[in-house]
Amino acid sequence: MVIAYISLGTNLYKKYENIKNAIAYIAKSCKILDISSIYLTSPLENTKQPYFYNCVVKIDTNLTPFSLLKLAKDIEKLMGRTYEKERYQPRIIDIDILFYGRKIINTKNLKIPHPKIQNRKFVIYPMEEIAKNFIHPTLHKKVFTLRLQLRKDISQYIKLVIPRKNILNYFKKLKLKLN
């Protein structure tokens, strides 16, 4: 079993439901260990689209990194995500593997750690909430330190909208075993 961290994002339709559904699908193949709060964030790159809900999920998995990527893509497709020619378009769900243990992978289809983590508030803030002492395997810095070092010119809006305890309680009511 390997501990991995996955980022979830959505900016279409019922965003909270999209996040909950994606987590439920992940839980069918991986053990959910923790879930961050959900943050409302402004879009990067293509700013003419709705704001996002983002969170980070800590999992324990038997899947290889490439099998985990396939699971993520299968869930995105199942939930109705379409892939446009132009990147950074609105999406019902976006699932990214941030870290897979301390493994470093650099292929055309899979890059772990995710290459833009250190510049994205929508990843660093929720990641810090559940794993502030995790050490980035290539930058050799704790997530807490990465948050402190976020560039001041990154003007992305971020606001906590659904506290961690609320989403954890939701899954406990569904009897999804956490921890």
Does residue 49 form part of some domain? yes
pLDDT over 90 percentage in the chain:
59
- Whether 120 sits among the annotated catalytic residues: the reply is no
CATH number reported for the structural domain that contains residue 19 in this entry: 3.30.70.560
Where on the phi/psi map is residue 79: left (φ > 0), alpha (ψ -120 to 50), or beta? alpha
Question: So what's the pLDDT on residue 145?
Answer: 92
Pick the catalytic residue from 81, 102, 120, 147: 81
Rounded CA-CA distance 105/177 in Å is: 30
- Whether 153 sits among the annotated catalytic residues: the reply is no
Does residue 50 form part of some domain? yes
Kindly indicate the confidence band of residue 23, based on its pLDDT and cuts at 50, 70 and 90: very high
DSSP label at residue 117: G
Does residue 167 form part of some domain? yes
pLDDT higher than 60, residue 179: no
Question: So what's the pLDDT on residue 91?
Answer: 80
Does residue 178 form part of some domain? no
Does residue 75 form part of some domain? yes
pLDDT higher than 90, residue 90: no
Pick the catalytic residue from 60, 74, 94, 164: 94
Pick the catalytic residue from 96, 102, 147, 151: 96
Question: pLDDT per residue over 135-161, tens digit each?
Answer: 999 999 999 999 888 866 566 777 888
Q: Which of 66, 63, 77, 154 has the alpha carbon at shortest distance from 112?
A: 66
Question: So what's the pLDDT on residue 80?
Answer: 78
Pick the catalytic residue from 60, 87, 91, 102: 91
Question: So what's the pLDDT on residue 62?
Answer: 96
- Whether 81 sits among the annotated catalytic residues: the reply is yes
Average pLDDT of the residues of the chain: 87
Domain range for 37 is: 2-173
Residue 132 vs residues 12, 42, 66, 129, 140: alpha-carbon distances, Å: 29, 23, 26, 6, 13
Question: pLDDT per residue over 93-130, tens digit each?
Answer: 999 999 999 999 999 999 999 888 888 888 999 999 99
With beta carbons less than 8 A apart as the criterion, state whether 156 and 44 touch.
Answer: yes
Question: So what's the pLDDT on residue 111?
Answer: 93
Mean pLDDT of 30-51: 86
